[in-house]
Chain A
Amino acid sequence: MNPTHRVFLDAGSGAPLHPAAREAYDAALAEGWADPRRLHTEGRRARLLLDGAREALASALGCRTEEVHLAPSHTAALHTAVVALHRGRRRAGAGVVLSAVERAALHAVAAHVTDTHAAPVVVPVDRVGRVDLGAWSAAVGVPGVALAALQHANGEVGTVQPLDAAHEAAAAAGVPLLVDAGASVGHHPVPSAWDALAADPRDWGGPAGVGVLAVRSRVRASAPWPEDEDPWFPGGVSVPAAFGAAAALRAVLADRQATAPRQSALVARLRERVAREVPDVDVVGDPGDRLPHVLTFSCLYVDGEALVTELDRRGFAVGSGSACTSRTLEPSHVLAAMGALTHGNVRLALPRDVLEADVERFCDELPDVVASVRRMAGAVGL
């Protein structure tokens, strides 16, 4: 095997740039470099590209163009959505309800906007990572809740959330629902059950430097920052990045019908081979109702960092939710909330052009990699 042949299996929120994104980015750089706020021909050209990007994104997300706001990143989109929607509901209360498996940025901003008297209500999940609907409905129904947040699907373990029922419960209580669709848009049918929705271009092969926040016009929001021509994200965003993101989304949605089943079949194959060929492995997440391209498993008695490093040495780039692979030395809160094993974790997100032969080779090499890391730790015969 050619040692320089790299197999990238960590495409979650950092997918390789889609060719359509690169092409659109280059074109927009040539045509749309000017400030879209200016009234001259160059400025209007940039404005046209930016408006076109928002229109395309709105059409993909099933909302109106004026409901789409462009952020500098997915994290910024989530932070801003929570801050502005929470403040927009200050007469109703200060509470925030969110699931235990939301991404860290959402937990952080929920804690930021709620004071100590109304700490965020974290709704538990079951063993596959699906939110407890009974607990969710009870939590959003308590008076004083300003905002609820639930992801469309979990980017670490792939499980899809029961959004329709969760949105219905929130709506019945008059509570707006923010949906983090950062891991799903481009991979799974776009949901319609939301009041605000954040999507991540980096996850579908768009350029870095842009995020997408859609807010239904009926939703009340209030910004605690100064007024600007771009009221949600003052200063606006890079026109080429926005145009590239929209072009990439259009392209991936156009071939999703072909890509998703192919990725699903490869993930099913991985799931089956990993469970069969690696002893003492915990394969995590819902086996059926899941994202097509994500798979996570944990290997007992294995150091996650050693596992990622050894796979990297053999040409495979993978993610991990193990404590030793994070800066904080805390394990993934998602795995912890599910009661899954947190050490020895491998997180795969298949890029859309992943080769079947590379997936098979990963399965061929994994048992030996796991065994060698276990041997190094003295974990033999346990």
Chain B
Amino acid sequence: MSVVVDARGLRCPLPVIRLAAAARDAAPGTDITVIWTDPAARHDIPAWARMRGHEVRATAPLAPPDAAPGPDGPDAFATTVRTAG
């Protein structure tokens, strides 16, 4: 079971709020992938996961570094978190 949260263009703390809402509604052990562009999310998603006992599985860029700028461009990343339980 997996869920995708699109938080592109949202500024902190909104990506983490959207992710937390998805985690609240998900069954334990669900993989949630959040897509973000805000630089603070890089630090705040792992910090949130640590505070809540969730596990960060991976973070990867959405597009290759030479992609055209935009919501699918080099500033977008995808982080997958597995909910506790």
Total A-B pairs, Cβ < 8 A = 72
Given A301-B17, A302-B13, A377-B17, does the pair A280, B43 have CB atoms closer than 8 Å? no
Which single member of A301, A336, A344 contacts B43 (CB below 8 Å)?
A336
- The interface residues of chain B lying within 8 Å CB-to-CB of A335 are 43
Contacts of A377 in B (CB 8 A): 13-14, 17
Q: Check if A300 is an interface residue, CB within 8 A of chain B.
A: yes
Q: Inside 8 A of B21's CB, which chain A residues have their CB?
A: 382
Is A378 a contact of B17 with CB atoms below 8 Å? yes
Q: Check B51 against A382 for contact (C-beta < 8 Å).
A: no
A165 at the interface (CB under 8 A from B): no
| Bound form: Cα–Cα A336–B47 in Å | 9
- Choose among B13, B14, B24, B46 the residue with the greatest number of A CB atoms under 10 Å from its CB: B13
What number of B residues sit within 8 Å (CB to CB) of A? 20
Task: Decide if A341 touches B17 in the complex (CB within 8 Å).
Answer: no
Q: Is A329 an interface residue (CB 8 A)?
A: yes
Bound-complex Cα distance A377 to B13 (A)? 9
**Given A339-B43, A339-B47: A381 and B13 interface contact (C-beta under 8 Å):** no
Chain A 314-358 per-residue mask, 1 if CB under 8 angstroms from chain B, else 0: 000000001110000111000110011111100000000000000
The 8 closest A-B pairs by CB, nearest first: A341-B47, A343-B13, A382-B20, A343-B12, A323-B40, A336-B43, A331-B40, A379-B17
Given A303-B13, A336-B42, 11 additional A-B pairs, CB 8 A: A282-B51, A301-B13, A323-B12, A331-B40, A340-B43, A342-B40, A343-B13, A343-B16, A343-B40, A343-B44, A344-B13
Sample 22 A-B pairs with CB under 8 A, ordered by A number.
A282-B47, A298-B47, A300-B51, A301-B17, A302-B13, A304-B12, A323-B40, A331-B39, A335-B43, A336-B43, A339-B46, A341-B44, A341-B48, A342-B12, A342-B40, A342-B43, A344-B13, A377-B14, A377-B17, A379-B13, A382-B20, A382-B24
| Residue positions of A touching B, CB distance < 8 A | 280, 282, 298, 300-304, 322-324, 329-331, 335-336, 339-344, 377-379, 381-382
